[in-house]
Structure 1
């Protein structure tokens, strides 16, 4: 089911070609300049005008959003900037003809962020911010075309699977996506609990090749994220190459043919074996829900729900509701349902650090949307700023300072400053509730497990008189509710388990059999996955396990970047195989072992090795199987192509 390039590449979710100069001086444009983010307006103005002097004028007033005292830009400077930008946008010939130099762009980045942007970040920034999109592979003269009939099968039509579809089509490969659900979107189609959303900022949590100006919130709600991925599938015409309602059950490598035999099961129960030269597994780790191990859980006679399989027909009005868990899903669910329920009992199994959202009420105004749709370069510069402060700018927080006291609840001076910032949020919210302060203040370092983003409603929800935060452990579930370890019984009508996913079991129920009948389950078990560069395993040729072992950006936002990078890496590997007129590749055992050693050596230097660091990043032996222990820029650089000495070509 090969797709032609011309039939695949459609209009990206932000039609950047619509941004033309000069613009009409309209009330909508003036409102956009009033509502626009000042740093982004400055970058946009300098980009269009080349007026470098404005950087010198603004530089003394610009600070990091984490700086204290907070930044104060004089109002007259902002008004002058708006007037200058209005003139450039609406006056014929006022904008520069052509783009700015690399030197000026680099200086703009450094001044706008109030910190140095090292040269090593520039290629990544140009790529991810959308300033210099790469030429599609099919148009590159230095690349050998993909051979006819070389088929790549992609598992899953979530974020990674859709990126794979777009890029495989651009590269000219025969490709197909197999999706178990009836629609694209992956976790953003499956998760429908009230309040479901994303902690990553919207304008970064999207593909670099499909920037989106239409986000309703600065952190997308689940419905918005699903709508975005659905639109990508439609705009890039991916649907003809997606098999819906089809589950991949087994992969078996054919040694003689150098092909994967992929057994799939349709919704009607019928099976088919698909032959593929390569497999990109994009089924992700957050679609295998985990129920809590509590005695009597199945005995509950009320409504029992898991956030990952929410029943949207359930009416919670006036009900006595219990929520087990206070992680990311619970922090979104709790404020979303608190106003409807009669009584809400939250059972906290472990504390989490909670940070206030810098976006306030989180709504993107119409003026800002207008700026992103129509003002050249505004959307890209806004994404740049969001990316920097949500990504590698946070990396120092997860580095252990060897001189820092080991028994401290932080790991460095930088990390301690972030801890104090988070404590300030607790102190401010619960100034008159010392009991809640004690219950909600963690004793482990910030960033050693996933941080909760508070958009305003979460922490204040615990101040409501009908909301009860229970710290005592659960002894058992009964037909009528719960019994706590102190003997108290709490009767419930609805029990919600916001207890996450079985992330460590990265294979799920999939059976994978490689060279000579070697089973990947024997290598990984149910909680100890290991791979070369988070994707490849010796003995399993042309099998790319995306979002795999030690590839998660747990110091920052950026799963979208990881997905794009891994797809790029997989295609670069396949391009190399085909350029050499071979059939497959696999990492060598020495390269695999060396990579494991490299990860382990670095992990000792990371926050996740702190004695108080316990999270789903670690397996039962406290080995961190999930986190990428370096920066995102390092991941991006590694993904430019394979280290050929680490591989065997078949």
Structure 2
């Protein structure tokens, strides 16, 4: 059958949650996943040291808590194993078409249905039709590659953290890591002990907070399994603690200067050399960029085989990279820990709505969405963790679950009314986006003295929700039906 109620693009955390909700509502759902396995971010990111920076017991579905996490902050492979378990537990796998690389999706105004064209594992182009389309593609799937002249001529091992080749080792090699963001902070301590020499190429120093990671005793896990209420209480405690950070991020960035005292103390206690500490000290306000958590990243710079290089990378050749002072840095393994393009994944889907409206063009113009879910001129189409639905202070899975509930309610209300389509009213979106812009102005992301991937090219926040999770949940879980069009 090539006709379905619902097509979900992407089989990561969001796509799996949407599929489970659609199945529960009795909808015929199919998931198009371009890879050969589920998992999204946690399937692809396999570099040494990869882990979550949200506490394990909060980084899971609310309807499927896991008592068996091994650490306070779960390693990446453990999160992937959790997703594999959920997929089997809720019979999701039979709904997934693996190796399905979506090329284009367009809304047929004559039939009020979406047509989705994709290539299968053999490269053959197929098209399926559906009533509803959900984009669960995520913002952390298209790696950002720095523009270093000659990089393509490098003859050693070259990879991005998101494309880490299994089996790759740093043992006895001259290793270079470009970047000092969240991925680099996890990778560098993991590869430094094995490398003959490790050079970290830093463009901007990053504030690093202590992680406080630790093993979870088997007896504790057994207790949570016997008494789930204890695990739920811990989850609620973690959530509340994280929510308290929103005040400093969103309303009073000056508070972050006080919080940065802890980061400064962490730096002082970790790095012996005062000159090196100075080079590792950021000038921007804590929170302006994503805050990495690590107990051993800073200490790694005390190692004799580790060097911090702050000169600009201007070129690469077959054996080395070159900094602005003309120094050649010979390398065997070069790792790009340079993050992701948050808009690229959404644009790559190539979606066209009413009157050939292009979602990609909307992104280029600075996309206006309603709670990161609906976009004018794209009826029966929904995004999960779209614009302004990411977080800087808490688990995005909380936001995603609220959005899944909104989509479920919109579809149910449309069907109850006997309508063919549901879409956000174009006139309500400008006021919503104006509120986002106004509230973003006072945040640390705009006032902290840095540029980050949170902001688009014009300097507008088009990534993060400028408020608490609780506020977001209250708004989207109690939708105002007058904000939506239900049409025949």
TM-score normalised by length of structure 2: 0.97
In structure 2, the partner of 1:262 is: 116
Partner in structure 2 of residue 534 of structure 1: 372
Q: State the partner residue of 2:287.
A: 447
- Correspondent of 1:570 among 392, 398, 407: 407
Match of 2:235 in 1: 383
Taking the aligned partners of 2:64 and 2:166, their CA distance within structure 1 comes to: 31
| Aligned-residue offset at 1:578 | 0.5
Match of 1:77 in 2: none
**What's 1:194 paired with?**
48
- Residue 38 of structure 1 aligns with which residue? none
Q: Aligned residue for 1:473?
A: 312
Query: Contact 2:376–2:425 (CA<8 Å) still a contact in 1?
Result: yes
Q: How many correspondences in the alignment?
A: 487
Structure 1 stretches of 5 or more lacking a match?
A: 3-148, 402-410
How far did residue 376 of structure 1 move?
5.0
User: Contact 2:368/2:430 (CA < 8 Å) preserved in 1?
Assistant: no
What's the CA shift for 1:400?
4.3
Q: Distance in 2 between matches of 1:569 and 1:433?
A: 52
Please say which structure displays the higher CA radius of gyration: 1
In the alignment, the residues of structure 2 paired with residue 244 and residue 344 of structure 1 have an alpha-carbon distance, to the nearest angstrom, of: 38
Q: Give me the whole-angstrom Cα distance separating, in 1, the residues matched to 2:350 and 2:4.
A: 23
Q: Choose which of 389, 395, 402 in structure 2 pairs with 1:551.
A: 389
SS of the residue 1:355 aligns to: coil
**Aligned residue in 1 for 2:262:** 421
1:288/1:508 contact within 8 Å kept: no
Alpha-carbon shift at residue 530 of structure 1 (Å) = 2.5
CA distance in 2, matches of 1:377, 1:585: 38
Question: Offset at 1:150?
Answer: 6.7
CA distance in 2, matches of 1:521, 1:377: 45
**What is the match of residue 237 of structure 1?**
91
Deviations 1:386-435 (A, max 9, x none): 22222x1111111344xxxxxxxxx32x32221111111111112x3112
Structure scoring higher RCO (CA < 8 A, sep ≥ 6) equals 2
Deviation of 1:506 after TM superposition, in Å, equals: 4.6
- 2:31 aligned residue: 177
C-alpha distance in 1, partners of 2:99/2:352?
24
| Residues in 1 aligned to 2:478 and 2:22: alpha-carbon distance in whole angstroms | 15
Q: 2:276 aligns to what? A: 436
Secondary structure of the corresponding residue to residue 364 of structure 1 = coil
Matches within 5 A, 1:327-476: 327-359=181-213, 362-390=214-242, 392-401=243-252, 411-412=253-254, 414-430=255-271, 432-454=272-294, 456-476=295-315
**From 580, 588, 594, the counterpart of 2:431:** 594
Separation (CA, whole Å) in 1 of partners of 2:404 and 2:190: 35
Equivalent residues in 2 for 1:25-104, closer than 5 Å: none
Which of structure 1's runs of 4+ aligned residues deviate more than 3 A?
none
Partner of 2:443: 606
- Distance in 2 of aligned mates of 1:348 and 1:265: 40
Partner of 2:10: 156
Unaligned runs of 5+ in 2: none
Counterpart CA distance in 2 for 1:429 and 1:643 is: 51
The answer (yes or no) to whether the contact 1:504–1:625 under 8 Å persists in 2 is no
TM-score after normalising by structure 1: 0.73
- Confirm or deny that 1:502 pairs with 2:345: no
1:638 to 472, 475, 488: 475
In 2: Cα distance, 1:642 partner to 1:248 partner: 31
Q: Measured at CA, do residues 271 and 366 of structure 1 come closer, stay the same or move farther in structure 2, by a change above 3 Å? A: same
User: What is the Cα-based RMSD across aligned positions, in Å?
Assistant: 1.6
